[in-house]
């Protein structure tokens, strides 16, 4: 069930085992206390809601300032996003925590609340790019690879042929697209690093300009993931 209150907006995820609350609201840390800056006319609504729901802050990591006005040397950063949980949730999932990541499209940092320790993936998922099919060599390459003889049970043959095609597609991508994905990923990594550096020292003018220079803008000519040309 999803409940939405009027300003300030609160979003509750309700279940049998616990409650997670994510909200965007002006706030700051005053010693051990969390002090909220509320809109006029709603000074009591938020406090009463938190008390009646028996909510407590969920531990968070990542960026401390979760809002950024993207103005370069005139940068303004604030902590506007928080996560709360109730006792039932924190007792069942003791490792629950929220990670605030570097922003991408929005001016707010995305927050991911994890109820357990993250599972480390050993192998990244294979991604199929629709732009491969635009090359005349694509279908002949796939057909010739698929026609290779393999041994074993029919289901095992299917798996082996899929692996062969996957390997050929990786070579095909390197040959025709010169590691576009790698360059885009490197640019994103540089932007994320610049955001993290600025988050630790928001008054540094040089870091503000560096973060602005490293900002990644979706570009259909270099990043097929933004345009829907990439499919997993």
Residue-range domain boundaries for the chain: 2-114, 128-177, 180-231
Query: What pLDDT sits at residue 138?
Result: 92
Residue that the structure tokens 């309700």 belong to: 14
* pLDDT, averaged across the chain: 75
Q: Tokens representing 97?
A: 């925590």
27 touches 65 (CB < 8 A) = no
Q: 59-95 burial string, b = 16+ CB within 10 Å, else e?
A: ebebbebbbbeeeeeebebebbbbbbbbeebeeebee
Integer Cα distance of 220 and 164 in angstroms: 29
Q: H or E segment at 124?
A: none
Q: 154-165 burial string, b = 16+ CB within 10 Å, else e?
A: eeeeeeebeeeb
Does residue 220 register a pLDDT over 60?
A: no
Query: What pLDDT sits at residue 24?
Result: 54
Q: What is the pLDDT of residues 110-159, one digit of tens each?
A: 888 888 766 666 777 788 888 888 889 999 999 999 999 888 778 888 98
Flag whether the pTM goes above 0.85. Answer: no
Integer Cα distance of 163 and 133 in angstroms: 18
Question: Sorting pLDDT into bands at 50, 70 and 90, what band is 41?
Answer: low
Q: What is the pLDDT of residues 66-89, one digit of tens each?
A: 888 888 788 888 888 888 888 888
Does residue 96 register a pLDDT over 90?
A: no
């Amino acid at each position: 069930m999803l409940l939405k209150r009027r300003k300030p907006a609160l979003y509750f995820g309700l279940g049998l085992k616990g409650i997670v609350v994510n909200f965007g609201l002006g706030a700051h840390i005053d010693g051990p206390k969390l002090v909220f800056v509320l809109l006029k006319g709603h000074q009591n609504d938020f406090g009463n809601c938190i008390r009646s729901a028996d909510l407590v802050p969920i531990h968070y990591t990542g960026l401390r300032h979760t809002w950024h006005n993207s103005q370069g040397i005139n940068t303004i950063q604030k902590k506007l996003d928080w996560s709360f949980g109730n006792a039932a949730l924190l007792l069942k999932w003791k490792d629950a925590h929220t990670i605030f990541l570097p922003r991408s499209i929005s001016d707010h940092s995305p927050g991911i609340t994890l109820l357990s320790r993250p599972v480390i993936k050993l192998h990244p998922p294979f991604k199929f790019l629709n732009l491969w099919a635009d090359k005349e060599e694509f279908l002949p390459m796939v057909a010739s690879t698929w026609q290779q003889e393999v041994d074993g049970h029919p289901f095992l043959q299917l798996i082996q042929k899929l692996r062969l095609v996957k390997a050929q597609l990786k070579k095909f991508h390197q040959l025709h697209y010169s590691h576009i994905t790698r360059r885009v990923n490197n640019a994103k990594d540089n932007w994320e690093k610049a955001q993290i550096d600025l988050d630790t020292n928001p008054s540094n003018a040089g870091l503000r300009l560096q973060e602005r220079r490293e900002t990644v803008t979706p570009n259909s000519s270099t990043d097929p993931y933004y345009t829907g040309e990439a499919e997993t």
